[in-house]
Amino acid sequence: MKFKMLFTVLALSAVVFTSCEDNKKKEQDEKERMEQMEAEREAEMEAEKEKMDMESNSIAAKAMATDTLSTLVGALKSAELAEMFKTEEGPFTVFAPNNAAFGKVDKATLDQLMMKENKDKLAGVLKYHVVDKKVMSSDLVKMIKDNDGKYTIKTIGSGNLDASLEGDKVILTDESGNKATVVKADVNASNGVVHIIDAVVMKKAS
């Protein structure tokens, strides 16, 4: 009888012990799950913060904050490129025509480019002003000097620009022989750099 009672007590103890161990395991699993969720939430918040910081200092944001680039901003929106320069990491170098530069373009030509049905053509013109890497002015001047006074820049618009120097000014010559001067260099952005120019450069008509 005593043996039977002892066996019963031991069996009950084993059940209680197993139950306690199960509870501890469940508590540990739940704790680990909660910690994992918290880590993921913090990572998402950090990623969102980094994204917001990048976008608030992006090429698009810098252009929007510059009064003399308002026409360019309008053109980027018309060509549906503003979002690209806001969210894509790049880095890009943008030779940004100022308002005076657009003022030199024939009004009828500019109005036509801004039409919705011509957004692809406008995008092509704007991409001719963009390089798919970050090129600071000091780097560009060095490349010009290292290449006998002329350095050819390949743009994402499938065209070339020739960079040269006139005194301490960087001059861009487009495929049609038209020239633009960099009037403000090295406007740093989170996804590249902007150099403001005084003329709209154009690819040679095919």
Q: Going residue by residue through the chain (206 aa), what tens digit of pLDDT does each one get? A: 555 565 564 555 555 555 556 666 777 777 777 777 777 777 677 656 665 666 778 999 999 999 999 999 999 999 999 889 988 888 999 999 999 999 999 888 888 888 888 899 999 999 999 999 999 999 999 999 999 999 999 999 889 999 999 999 999 999 989 999 999 999 999 999 999 999 999 987 65
Q: What is the pLDDT, as a whole number, of residue 76?
A: 93
Are 71 and 115 spatial neighbours (Cβ–Cβ below 8 Å)? no
* Pairing mode of beta strands 130-131, 179-189: unpaired
Q: What is the pLDDT, as a whole number, of residue 48?
A: 62
Mention the CATH class of domain 57-197: mainly beta
Q: What is the pLDDT, as a whole number, of residue 126?
A: 94
Q: What is the pLDDT, as a whole number, of residue 1?
A: 55
Gap between the Cα atoms of 117 and 106, Å rounded: 19
Q: What is the pLDDT, as a whole number, of residue 69?
A: 95
